[in-house]
Amino acid sequence: MRKFAQRRSTTGFLLCLPLILLVAGFVIYPAFYAIYLSMLNKKMTAFVGLSNFQFLLKRHTFQMVIFQSCLYAITAVILKVLIGFTLANLMNNIPGKKQRIWRGLLLVPWVIPLALSTLTWWWMFDPSYSAFNWVLNQFGFANVPWLGVGWIARFCTITVNVWGGTPFFMIMYLAALKSVPEQLYEASSIDGANAIQRLFFVTLPMMRNIISITILFSLIVTFAEFDIVRILTAGGPQDMTHVFATYAFQVGIQSGDIPLGAADSLFMFPILAFAAFFVLRGVTKRTKEIAT
Amino acid sequence: MSRAVYPVARALTCVHTMAAGVDSKPGRPDGHQKGPHVTTTPTMKRKTAGKTTRRSALKLATASAVLPLVHIRSGRAAGKLSIAFWDHWVPAGNAVMQKQVDAWAAKNQVEVQADFITSVGQKNLLTIAAEAQAKTGHDVQAFPTWEVHNNADSLEPMDDVMKRLTDKYGQVNHVCDYLAKINGHWMAVPTSSGTQYKGPCGRISILKETAGLDVVGMYPAKEGHVAASDKWTWDAHLAAAEACLKAGTPFAIGLGQTSDSVDTAGVLFRAYGAELVDKDGNNTVKSDKVRAVLEYGQKLVKALPADAVSFDDASNNRALISGQSALIWNPPSAWAVAKRDAPKVADDAWSFSGPSGPEGRFLPYLPYFWGVWSFSKNKTAAKELIEALLQRDTIEARCNEVVGYDVPPFDSMLDFKVWQEVGPPAGTVYNYPIRPFHHAVAHIAALPAPPEIAVQIYNRGTMPTMLAKLKSGQTIDQVIAWASDELEGFAR
C-alpha cells in the first residue's frame, strides 16, 4: 500500500482527480444525460430510440435550421479566418510598441461579454432607434428593416459573430506568425520567392496546424452558438435565423418538449466529433513530421 | 433559536415534560413566564430518581407516538418554505409581495425564502425546467401560461385550495380552466401576480384626429355600455391602422414569434372563428374561416410597420413611448414607462377593449399560476401561503402597488378602485381588465386545441408567422400549406 501511495503515477492521478471529477460532473455526465433525454418520448416516460431524430429530419423547419446553422457557422468561420489572418499579417508588420496598442484595441470585441455586445448591436439594428438607420436617413436613404427580412437578418447575425470572433483568430495567427523561423523567409528570398510565394510556400505551411485547430475549435463553438441569434432575432423572422441551439431552446424549454430539444442540440455532435477526429489526427501527424 | 426550530422545540419540551410527569402551569400573573412552572412531590422524586417504571415507560412511548403528529401539525406553523415568484416589472410589486410573505411567515412561524425570478431571457422557464428535472428546488413556483401543463406530472393537486377560494370569491375564467385544470384537477392556482390582459392601448389625440376614433368616448372610465363601442370592429381597426400608417404613426403590432405578437394574432383569429387545431386535435387549418382571417390579414399587414416581423415584446412598447405609434396591444406597462420617460405620451394614452369580429370580441389574457411541486417537503405550508396570498385584501394591496397591472383571477375583485384612480389621464386603465359591459371574452391563442399542441402553436408563433408570410408576399394557399405542415409536426 505504501509503495502504491509513493508511486509518481498515483500522485499524478491524485493531483488530477479534482479536474477529472469536474470534467466528469460538468461535461461527461451532462453529455450522456442529454443523449439519454434525446431518446425519450415527449412525456419522458418511454424509450423511443432514434425516433426523435427521425421526426426532426422530416420537419421542414428543422431542415431550414440545418441549412441556417451550416450557413451561419461556415460563413462566419471562413470570414473570421480570412479577416483574422489578414489582420495578423498587418499587425505583424507594425513595429513593437505600436503593435501592442493595436493588438489591445482589436482584442476588445473578444473581451467584452458577448451577450452585452450583442445587446448593443441589437440596439443599433432596432426598428425604433436604429443608429444605422439614423445614419442612412442623414444621407437621404430609407430605413432598412435590419432584423425584419430573412436574408438581411442572417447577414446581421453572421456579422456580429464575425465581429466578436475575429480577434481570437487574429491573436492565434499572430502568435503563429511570430514562431515562423526568419531563416525560412531569408532562404526563400535568396531563392527569388516573391511575397505571394512566401505566403503560400512558407507562411501557410508553417501555420497549417494552428489554422486547422482554430477552424475546428471555432466551428464547434459557432455551431453551438446561442447568444447572438437569441438576442438579435430569437430565430425570426419566420424561423429564418434559427440555429440548432436557439431552436432547441424554443422546442425544449419554451414548448416543453425536452427530448426533442435534446435531440436537436445533439444533431451536430456525430458530425463534429468525426471532423474533430480527422483534424486532430492530421495535426498530430504533422507535429510528428516536424519533430522528426 | 430560529423561528423554524422554535415550535418543534416547544413541542419536544411539552412531550418531555409530559413524559417526566411534570405539570406545566400558566404563566406568572405579571405575564413574565420564564419556563414551565414545575411542581414536584417527594414521591415523584423517589420514582424518577430510581428505576424506570412501567407507567413512565408507557407515558414516554405515548409521547413518542404523539411526536410525529405534533410535527405534522407544525406544517401549519413551522418548517421551511421556499417560493419562487415572478420578478415583477414594477419594482414595488416585489416589495409588497415580500412584505406580505414576511407577515404570513411571522404569524405562522415558518421560515420562508422568497425568490423573485425574472422572465427576461425566460430565466423563469429555465428554472422551472431545471427544478422539474432535478426534482428539487423551490416548494412553490410561479408558472406562466403553458407551464402548468408542461409540468403537470410533477405538481401537487390544488383542488382543496381552489375550492375554498372559489367558494369565497366565485369562479375563474375558462382560460384558467383550460391552462391549469388537468383531468378534472386543479394542478395550480391562478394568481394575480403577473396575470395580464393585452388589449389595445392607443394615443387619444392621434386616433381621434387621424382615424376619427374617440376611444375615451367609446370606453369611458365609468361603468356602463356605450353604443359607440359596438362599432369598434376589426374592420374599424384596419381603417384606423391604414389612416395612422399614412400619418406616420402606424399601429405597432408585431408579427414576430414572441408573446405580444402571438396574443394579438390569437384574438384576431378567434374573432373570425379561425381555429388551426380543434379541441379534439384535428388539423383544421384548411377551413373557410382560416381563409377569411387570412384575407383580412393580407390587408392588415400592409398597414403595419415594415419591420413588424422582427418585433419582440419590447418593440411595441418602445414604438408607443417614442411617440412613433398610435396604438399597441399591451398591458399598462408601456403607459407606466411613458409616465416616467415620456409624460406627454402617457397623458395621451388610453387602454380599451379589443375590436369585435364575426365571432365576437376577444381579448388576450395571460394568467400566471402558483403551483406546489410534488417533491415539496412542506406542501401544507405551501398551500396555506398560496391561499393567504390570494385573499381579496392581499391581492388588492399588491394590485394598488403595481398601478393595476396585475389582474385578479376572480371577476368579483374587478371592483378595486385602482383602475379608476390611476392616471394621468385619470381612468386610463379603467378598461384594461374586461368589464361585463365590454361584452368581451378572455382568450389565449390556440385555445381550444389540446394544450400539448396549443403550447407549440403558441411558442412557435404559428399565427403571427402566417401573417408575416403574407407580409412577405406569400399567397394564402402557400401560407395554409406551410401551417398545415407545421401543425402535423406539433401533433406527434
ipTM of this model?
0.71
pLDDT digits (tens, 9 = 90+) for A254-282: 888 899 999 999 988 888 888 888 888 88
Mean pLDDT of A214-235: 90
The neighbouring-strand residues paired with B202 are: B327, B350
* Contact indicator for B406, B366 with CB cutoff of 8 Å: no
Q: What's chain B's average pLDDT?
A: 86
- What pLDDT does B59 receive? 66
- What pLDDT does B13 receive? 38
pLDDT higher than threshold 80 for residue B77: no
Selecting from A61, A147, A255 the residue whose C-beta is nearest the C-beta of B307 gives A147
- What pLDDT does B74 receive? 45
Cα–Cα distance measured from residue B240 to residue B243, given in angstroms and rounded to the nearest whole number: 5
Of all residues in chain A, the one with the smallest CA distance to B129 is A253
Name the amino acid, one letter, at B471.
K
Query: In this prediction, what percent of chain A has a pLDDT beyond 90?
Result: 49
> Quick one: pLDDT band at residue B25, thresholds 50, 70, 90?
very low
* Contact indicator for B285, B484 with CB cutoff of 8 Å: yes
Task: Provide the chain A residues 104-133 that lie in CB contact (below 8 A) with chain B.
Answer: 126-129
pLDDT higher than threshold 60 for residue B45: no
pLDDT higher than threshold 60 for residue B196: yes
Task: Provide the chain A residues 36-65 that lie in CB contact (below 8 A) with chain B.
Answer: 42-43, 55, 58-61
The neighbouring-strand residues paired with B197 are: B365
Query: Which secondary-structure segment (H or E) carries B383?
Result: helix B379-389
pLDDT digits (tens, 9 = 90+) for B442-480: 999 999 999 989 999 998 899 999 999 999 999 999 999
* Contact indicator for A148, B307 with CB cutoff of 8 Å: yes
- What pLDDT does A95 receive? 81
Q: At what angle do helices B462-471 and B288-302 cross, to 10 degrees?
A: 60
Hey, which bits of A63-140 come out as E strands? none
Selecting from A126, A237, A256 the residue whose C-beta is nearest the C-beta of B150 gives A256
Contact list, B129 vs chain A (CB under 8 Å): 252-253, 258
Cα–Cα distance measured from residue B429 to residue B401, given in angstroms and rounded to the nearest whole number: 14
Q: Which residue has the higher pLDDT, B257 or B102?
A: B102
- What pLDDT does B63 receive? 56
Cα–Cα distance measured from residue B363 to residue B344, given in angstroms and rounded to the nearest whole number: 27
User: Residues with Cβ < 8 Å from A214, sequence gap 6 or more?
Assistant: A81, A84, A168, A169, A172, A173
SS3 A171: helix
Residue B13 is placed in which grid cell? 419540551
pLDDT higher than threshold 90 for residue A243: yes
- What pLDDT does B19 receive? 38
Q: What's chain A's average pLDDT?
A: 89
Contact list, B456 vs chain A (CB under 8 Å): 255, 257
- What pLDDT does A106 receive? 87
Of all residues in chain B, the one with the smallest CA distance to A256 is B150
Cα–Cα distance measured from residue B359 to residue B127, given in angstroms and rounded to the nearest whole number: 39
- DSSP annotation string for B424-476: TTTTTTTTSSPPGGG-EEEE-TTTTS-HHHHHHHHHTTHHHHHHHHHHTT--H
- What pLDDT does B62 receive? 61
Q: Which residue has the higher pLDDT, B454 or B4?
A: B454
The neighbouring-strand residues paired with B371 are: B141
Q: Strands B185-186, B440-443: parallel, antiparallel or unpaired by DSSP? A: unpaired
- What pLDDT does B76 receive? 46
User: Residues with Cβ < 8 Å from B488, sequence gap 6 or more?
Assistant: B283
- What pLDDT does B231 receive? 94
Cα–Cα distance measured from residue B328 to residue B333, given in angstroms and rounded to the nearest whole number: 11
Of all residues in chain B, the one with the smallest CA distance to A248 is B460
pTM of the full structure: 0.78
Asked if A59's CB is within 8 angstroms of B489's CB, the reply is yes
Q: Which CATH architecture has domain B80-195+368-400?
A: 3-Layer(aba) Sandwich (3.40)
- Of the candidates A225, A230, A112, the residue with the CA atom closest to the CA atom of residue A167: A112
Query: In this prediction, what percent of chain A has a pLDDT beyond 70?
Result: 98
The neighbouring-strand residues paired with B200 are: B329
- What pLDDT does A129 receive? 76
pLDDT digits (tens, 9 = 90+) for A75-86: 999 999 999 999
Q: Which CATH number fits domain B197-366+410-490: 1.10.3470.10, 3.40.1010.20, 3.30.930.10, 3.40.190.10?
A: 3.40.190.10
Q: How far is CA A27 from CA A14, A100, B487, in A?
A: 20, 36, 35
Q: Which residue has the higher pLDDT, B245 or A42?
A: B245
Contact list, B309 vs chain A (CB under 8 Å): 145, 148-149, 236-238
pLDDT higher than threshold 60 for residue B70: no
User: Residues with Cβ < 8 Å from A216, sequence gap 6 or more?
Assistant: A275, A276, A279, A280
Residue spans per domain, chain A: 56-291
- What pLDDT does B60 receive? 63
Cα–Cα distance measured from residue B352 to residue B162, given in angstroms and rounded to the nearest whole number: 30
pLDDT digits (tens, 9 = 90+) for B326-372: 999 999 989 988 999 999 999 999 999 999 999 999 999 999 999 99
Selecting from A236, A249, A257 the residue whose C-beta is nearest the C-beta of B310 gives A236
Mean pLDDT of B181-194: 96
pLDDT higher than threshold 80 for residue B310: yes
- What pLDDT does B44 receive? 41
Mean pLDDT of B424-435: 94
* CATH code for the domain defined by A56-291: 1.10.3720.10
- What pLDDT does B353 receive? 96
The neighbouring-strand residues paired with B143 are: B369
Q: Quick check: bond before B42 cis, omega within 30?
A: no
Q: What are phi and psi of B201, to 5 degrees?
A: -130, 115
Task: Provide the chain B residues 151-170 that lie in CB contact (below 8 A) with chain A.
Answer: 151, 153
pLDDT higher than threshold 90 for residue B140: yes
- What pLDDT does B21 receive? 37
* Contact indicator for B204, B348 with CB cutoff of 8 Å: yes
- What pLDDT does B51 receive? 58
* Contact indicator for B328, B82 with CB cutoff of 8 Å: no
Mean pLDDT of A198-212: 90
Question: Which residue pairs, CB below 8 angstroms and at least 24 apart, start in A188-197?
Answer: none
SS3 B274: coil
Q: Which residue has the higher pLDDT, B17 or B432?
A: B432
pLDDT digits (tens, 9 = 90+) for B229-255: 999 999 999 999 999 999 999 999 999
Selecting from A55, A148, A235 the residue whose C-beta is nearest the C-beta of B307 gives A148
Contact list, A142 vs chain B (CB under 8 Å): none
Q: List, by residue range, all CATH 3.40.190.10 domains of chain B.
A: 80-195+368-400, 197-366+410-490
Query: At CA A243, angle to CA A242 and CA A245, rounded to 5?
Result: 115
CB pairs under 8 A between A and B: 96
Query: At CA A67, angle to CA A64 and CA A73, rounded to 5?
Result: 135
Q: Is B469 on the interface with A (CB under 8 A)?
A: yes
* Contact indicator for B267, B353 with CB cutoff of 8 Å: no
- What pLDDT does A287 receive? 78
* Contact indicator for A72, A161 with CB cutoff of 8 Å: yes
Residue for grid cell 414521591: B43
Mean pLDDT of B388-412: 94
pLDDT digits (tens, 9 = 90+) for A123-151: 898 866 788 999 998 999 888 889 888 89
- What pLDDT does B54 receive? 67
Q: Where are the alpha helices (DSSP H) in B120-277?
A: 123-134, 147-150, 159-169, 174-180, 204-211, 215-218, 234-246, 259-271
pLDDT higher than threshold 60 for residue B29: no
A18 vs chain B: nearest CA distance in angstroms?
24
Asked if B319's CB is within 8 angstroms of A128's CB, the reply is yes
Upper half-sphere CA count for residue A284 (Cβ side, 13 Å):
6
Q: Quick check: bond before B448 cis, omega within 30?
A: yes
pLDDT higher than threshold 50 for residue B22: no
Mean pLDDT of A154-160: 95
Cα–Cα distance measured from residue B359 to residue B443, given in angstroms and rounded to the nearest whole number: 13
Asked if B305's CB is within 8 angstroms of A127's CB, the reply is yes
Q: Quick check: bond before B220 cis, omega within 30?
A: no
Name the amino acid, one letter, at B288.
D
Q: How far is CA A69 from CA A118, A240, B190, in A?
A: 18, 10, 40
